[in-house]
Chains A and B, each alone.
Chain A
Amino acid sequence: METSKPSLPIVENFSRRAAVKGGFATLGAAAFVAAVSPLRQAAKNTTAAEFMQQHYTELSPEQKSDVIARLETEAKEKHGVDVHISDDRPIPGTKFVYAINLSVCNGNGKCVEACHKENNHDRTTNQSYIRVIEMPKGTMDMEQGSTTYTGAVPKDDKFYLPVQCQQCDEPPCVDVCPVKATWKEEDGIVVVDYNWCIGCRYCEAACPYHARRFNWKEPEVPAEEINPDQGYLSNRVRPVGVVEKCTYCLHRTRKGKLPACLEACPTGARVFGNILDKDSNIRWILENKRVYILKEELGTKPAFFYYFD
């Protein structure tokens, strides 16, 4: 068929149909470009340098300082605030652990608030890395608890269970990440490279402690409320579309300070320290108190402990 010479009218017909098809294809392509035009707005917010940026662990010291300088400039442009972003590395010979005295905690929620401010959380959603569960006495079953309690605390028949990232030694969130955007550092802190996370939220599904948060929108913090002492792997204002989590305030604790939630606690329920230090308070507590580990049966090996007097 194809070898036989086609007569002129057929060729004409063919080219007319081809032209019509081409016309519709062009129309369709144009409509598609129009439909996805909001992407242009999104593209404006991502610079080429940010797009090409390598994984945190693969940045050379020079690249790191370039990245930090860029982020500081962006913070100035976006929020009008001079921020200082540090890159604190783990202190050798340190393994941070946290403990909360459940006999003392009274559910006042100052830790939740302090975390909110320290870590530059989105103001409109009142975000925080800490959730406090009000539990009826006589059970450790969280099913019985409430995270939305109101009224004066402590209530006689209740106790209070604050939950944040447990900095697990076997972190399921790290295992599931398809791009190694989250990992465990030498001092035990599980961190996220906010510039590498693709926002698939598999880690959020994997975490048994509801420790992870996703930036469903661009975080909003008024300029005067922004905490300018920031860390690259911790409390800098996060980009939209990535996952974040508690970092034991590594921008503070790796400088020898205490986490913000501990400093804010009026009851003294919170104890933080280096478990490798034999003389530390935390070491004494873990060796001598009755200690409870949240969801111990899952084998996540938390670096976070609850104890009783």
Chain B
Amino acid sequence: MSNTATTESHISSYPKFIGRSLWLATEGSFGFYAWMTMLTAIFLVGANAWANQVAGGMVGTNMTDQVSWGLYIANFTFMVGLAAGGVMMVIPAYLYHDRKMHDVVIIGELLAVAAIVMCLMFVVADLGRPDRFWHLIPGIGKFNFPISMLTWDVIVLNGYLVLNLHICGYLLYMRFLGRRPNPVWYVPFVMVSIVWAISIHTVTAFLYCGLGGRPFWNTALLAPRFLASAFVSGPAFIIVSMILIKRLTGVIGLDQPIATLTKIIRVTILINLLMVASELFTEFYTGGSHVSAAKYLFFGLHGKTALVPWTWTAIGLNITAALLFLWSGILSERWRPLLITACAMAFVGTWIEKGMGLIIPGFIPSTLHEIVEYVPSQLEWKVTVGIWAFGLMIFTIAIKTALPTLKRPIH
């Protein structure tokens, strides 16, 4: 209503903004085109694998009635964490008024958008009947709210997506118009998004920990553990992205946010390890049949050991990364390769721990104590890698669109 100052109405300027963004997102160096072509190719392989899965039934996966969730749900769970992890930029920027972080906070918000899109894709990939997806839509389908935790997850994930799309979209649009963003239109949403980020991972943990028949998941520590590990994997991914953005695009002012995030991981990675240790103590000291799944995960059960190498790899990566983060030298610019290594280790370690390392032992032994092992099929890997490629495409394009904002922040 107070838009009398603008010479152009939003009806004509918004499409221009979208067009301009699209144009900008598809401009780049040879390296950029090569990167996007590679991601497209990988995504197409995944799309084809998924289409085959839908046409031929989920028999193409290696899931069974005993292990009825696998690689897709493992990645879904991890991705929710990645989406929530971006909030570790938002909190310093908006609650602690860290100016440098504020200038580049959009990176975390755009990561949330890409990660949530991947979450939704992993859920759809896991559905036996994606053609009946509309049954899940409130109003036209039959939404089992509030009893089913999955309906809560549908709400919080889509809500988080919309929140972040709005915040990023508004800031970029204002930038395009050359106007100062009006805090009324985005700061309240940012505050909501902070609480919302916590909620997406809490609700996702509740999906599992509310099931009495699955002792491995049935622990009150699951949601706090999810959050702690999310605040490792999210910042780790963002640090590496920032180092790349700095090197490839010349955006300045990233070093201080990198240092802040490094200091955050330094704490969260230890909290996560503490919680894992606490969980393991309770399991193994108590003993009994409750511990079977943990035994299977760490040492194998009745000669079945498929997950053992994965778990110990994760433990090794997480502990090594934790030690590297504790070393003060990691903050210096000289040691950037080491910081990248530490971030990669923490990222992969969390991916194993919260992915396969969490989902699969929930099913082994089964509720009737059968031990049926699970190793993802080639089709599952193709679909999974395809979704990752798509997510990286979204993230790349989003960052490119945001480059003018990142290069010259409006104060």
Complexed CA–CA distance, A77 and B63 (Å): 30
Complexed CA–CA distance, A35 and B54 (Å): 13
Complexed CA–CA distance, A38 and B64 (Å): 23
Given contacts A196-B142, A201-B68, A212-B65, contact A36 B57 (CB under 8 A): no
Partner of B68, one of A37, A163, A204, A300: A204
Complexed CA–CA distance, A270 and B259 (Å): 68
Q: B249 an interface residue at 8 Å Cβ cutoff?
A: no
Cβ-defined contact, A208 with B367, below 8 A: yes
Complexed CA–CA distance, A140 and B123 (Å): 37
Q: B332 an interface residue at 8 Å Cβ cutoff?
A: no
Cβ-defined contact, A216 with B63, below 8 A: yes
Q: B309 an interface residue at 8 Å Cβ cutoff?
A: no
Q: Which residues of chain A come closer than 8 Å to B131, judged between CB atoms?
A: 42-43, 46, 51
Q: Which residues of chain A come closer than 8 Å to B55, judged between CB atoms?
A: 38-39, 41-42
Q: A69 an interface residue at 8 Å Cβ cutoff?
A: no
Complexed CA–CA distance, A176 and B152 (Å): 11
Cβ-defined contact, B143 with A242, below 8 A: no
Given contacts A32-B44, A37-B51, A38-B48, contact A210 B150 (CB under 8 A): no
Cβ-defined contact, A36 with B213, below 8 A: no
Q: In angstroms, how far is the closest chain B Cβ from the Cβ of A54?
A: 9
Q: Which residues of chain A come closer than 8 Å to B50, judged between CB atoms?
A: 36
Q: In angstroms, how far is the closest chain B Cβ from the Cβ of A147?
A: 5
Cβ-defined contact, A210 with B57, below 8 A: no
Complexed CA–CA distance, A300 and B211 (Å): 11
Which of B110-118, B133-141, B231-239, B396-404 is the contact stretch? B133-141
Q: Which residues of chain A come closer than 8 Å to B68, judged between CB atoms?
A: 201, 204-205, 214
Q: B40 an interface residue at 8 Å Cβ cutoff?
A: yes
Q: B303 an interface residue at 8 Å Cβ cutoff?
A: no
Complexed CA–CA distance, A192 and B61 (Å): 23
Partner of B136, one of A142, A179, A210: A179
Q: Which residues of chain B come closer than 8 Å to A177, judged between CB atoms?
A: 144, 148
Interface SS of A by simple majority? loop
Q: Which residues of chain A come closer than 8 Å to B5, judged between CB atoms?
A: none
Q: A85 an interface residue at 8 Å Cβ cutoff?
A: no
Cβ-defined contact, A36 with B48, below 8 A: yes
Q: B59 an interface residue at 8 Å Cβ cutoff?
A: yes
Q: B368 an interface residue at 8 Å Cβ cutoff?
A: yes
Q: A90 an interface residue at 8 Å Cβ cutoff?
A: no
- 8 Å CB contacts to B: which residues of A167-210? 172, 175-181, 196-202, 204-210
Cβ-defined contact, B136 with A178, below 8 A: yes
Complexed CA–CA distance, A200 and B59 (Å): 14
Partner of A199, one of B129, B214, B362, B367: B129
B contact residues, total (Cβ < 8 Å):
59
Q: In angstroms, how far is the closest chain B Cβ from the Cβ of A192?
A: 12
Q: Which residues of chain A come closer than 8 Å to B54, judged between CB atoms?
A: 38-39, 42
Interface flags for A14-58 (1: CB within 8 Å of B; 0: not) read 000000010000001001100111110111001000010001000
How many residue pairs bridge A and B at CB < 8 Å?
173
Interface flags for B27-67 (1: CB within 8 Å of A; 0: not) read 00000000000001000110110111011111101011110
Q: In angstroms, how far is the closest chain A Cβ from the Cβ of B284?
A: 16
Q: A299 an interface residue at 8 Å Cβ cutoff?
A: yes
Cβ-defined contact, A28 with B148, below 8 A: no
Q: In angstroms, how far is the closest chain B Cβ from the Cβ of A274?
A: 28
A contact residues, total (Cβ < 8 Å):
62
Q: Which residues of chain B come closer than 8 Å to A41, judged between CB atoms?
A: 55
Q: A240 an interface residue at 8 Å Cβ cutoff?
A: yes
Complexed CA–CA distance, A208 and B218 (Å): 12
Partner of A242, one of B128, B133, B154: B128
Q: Which residues of chain B come closer than 8 Å to A197, judged between CB atoms?
A: 128-129, 132
Q: In angstroms, how far is the closest chain A Cβ from the Cβ of B203?
A: 13
Cβ-defined contact, B47 with A143, below 8 A: no
Cβ-defined contact, B57 with A240, below 8 A: yes
Cβ-defined contact, A214 with B368, below 8 A: no
Interface centre among A133, A178, A299 (most CB of B within 10 A): A178
Cβ-defined contact, A179 with B26, below 8 A: no
- 8 Å CB contacts to A: which residues of B190-225? 207-208, 211-214
Q: In angstroms, how far is the closest chain B Cβ from the Cβ of A86?
A: 24
Interface flags for B329-340 (1: CB within 8 Å of A; 0: not) read 000000000000
Interface centre among B51, B68, B69, B370 (most CB of A within 10 A): B68
Complexed CA–CA distance, A178 and B203 (Å): 14
Complexed CA–CA distance, A21 and B44 (Å): 19
Q: A110 an interface residue at 8 Å Cβ cutoff?
A: no
Interface centre among B59, B136, B213, B289 (most CB of A within 10 A): B213
Cβ-defined contact, A217 with B142, below 8 A: no
Q: Which residues of chain B come closer than 8 Å to A218, judged between CB atoms?
A: 57
Q: A215 an interface residue at 8 Å Cβ cutoff?
A: yes
Complexed CA–CA distance, A39 and B129 (Å): 12
Complexed CA–CA distance, A284 and B202 (Å): 47
Partner of B368, one of A147, A180, A300: A147
Q: A290 an interface residue at 8 Å Cβ cutoff?
A: no
Cβ-defined contact, A179 with B129, below 8 A: no
Complexed CA–CA distance, A207 and B366 (Å): 10
B interface residues, Cβ below 8 angstroms from A: 26, 40, 44-45, 47-48, 50-52, 54-59, 61, 63-66, 68-69, 123, 126-133, 135-136, 141-144, 147-151, 154, 207-208, 211-214, 289, 292, 362-363, 365-370
17 residue pairs A–B, Cβ–Cβ below 8 Å: A35-B47, A37-B51, A42-B51, A147-B368, A172-B211, A178-B154, A198-B128, A201-B68, A201-B69, A208-B213, A208-B367, A209-B367, A212-B65, A213-B65, A214-B58, A240-B128, A299-B212
7 A-B pairs closest in CB distance: A199-B128, A208-B213, A241-B128, A217-B57, A217-B59, A178-B150, A38-B55
Q: What 10 new A-B contacts, CB under 8 Å, besides A178-B150, A180-B142, A181-B142?
A: A32-B44, A131-B368, A143-B289, A148-B370, A172-B213, A198-B127, A199-B132, A201-B69, A205-B214, A218-B57
